[in-house]
Amino acid sequence: MNLPYRLKFSLGSLLLIALGNICHAQEENNKKWELGLGIGAISGPDYRGSDEYRTFISPIPYVVYRGKIIRTDRDGVRGNFLRTDQYEFTFSASASITPDADKNELREDMPELGSTLELGPSFNINLTGDNFAHGWHAQIPWRAVFALGAAESGYIGSVFQPQLVYRTKLGDWALNYRAGIMFASDDYHDYYYNVEQEYVTETRAYFNADGGYSGWNNQIALSRSFNTNGINTRLALFVRYDNISGTDFTNSALVKTRDVYRGGIAFIWVIK
């Protein structure tokens, strides 16, 4: 994989955001700053519905900041505008990485897909725990989605993903489970699944995607900290399953499977 240095750095930053909700241990910690370096890997399809999988490995920066408003913590990068132990209103980020989607055979001679950055507000409700670090809670996020590193970069639509999240401790491990459904705008589905007339072939029919229901998903993640001779490290991993059955875009020639699997792992050396 021959990627320019700047693109590697950008994708490494996206990788940190994509792994953000598993890289930070759930233990109570009063340190305002944590800095470190690590390496992470994500494996998954070029897009939901593709049967072609890639693995991306990159060094990643590790930054935890626990400010009153801006925080990088258990949910990645976010801003707290209203927060109690029972509910919170935040602004958060998420990411997906597709550095080699131009190699996808189904999309031969079509525009390259970029990695994406999602930004937007979320309203979260604590359902069972004393706070958001333990027990069940609901997350109701809406995010604008931006494509990066491709010919058609920029805003590509929006997604709405209500989900249930469960957090607990299993010995030295922090467990994070989430399950939810997704709805997306027309332009978001268009970006991945439209086949314009100029790209029609004998095996790829014209298709125009609609917005609406975009599938369901569940994910399990584990993380823990290690301290060996004063050296602090973190290990985190996740597995995610998405199902796109019942969506409008499964009729696109660009969809070959309704089952989507992703996984990732990160190892972090906490320097400070």
Provide the residue ranges of all domains of the chain, joining segments of one domain with +: 5-270
Average pLDDT over residues 226-244: 91
Confidence of residue 143 (pLDDT cuts 50, 70, 90): very high
Average pLDDT across the chain, whole number: 84
Confidence of residue 63 (pLDDT cuts 50, 70, 90): confident
Which of 2-6, 91-95, 125-129, 240-244 reaches the highest mean pLDDT? 240-244
Confidence of residue 133 (pLDDT cuts 50, 70, 90): confident
Average pLDDT over residues 86-114: 85
Whether the CB-CB separation of 136 and 165 falls below 8 Å is answered with: yes
Average pLDDT over residues 97-125: 88
Confidence of residue 14 (pLDDT cuts 50, 70, 90): low
- Whether the per-residue pLDDT at 2 is higher than 70: the answer is no
φ and ψ of 221, to 5 deg: -135, 145
- Whether the per-residue pLDDT at 54 is higher than 80: the answer is yes
- Whether the per-residue pLDDT at 213 is higher than 90: the answer is yes
User: Per CATH, is 5-270 categorized as 2.40.230?
Assistant: yes
Residue 55's CB is within 10 A of a number of other CB atoms, namely: 12
Which range (19-33, 107-121, 221-235) has the least confidence? 19-33
Average pLDDT over residues 155-171: 94
Which range (11-20, 75-84, 178-187, 208-217) has the least confidence? 75-84
* Model confidence, pTM: 0.85
- Whether the per-residue pLDDT at 181 is higher than 80: the answer is yes
62 or 206: which carries more pLDDT confidence?
206
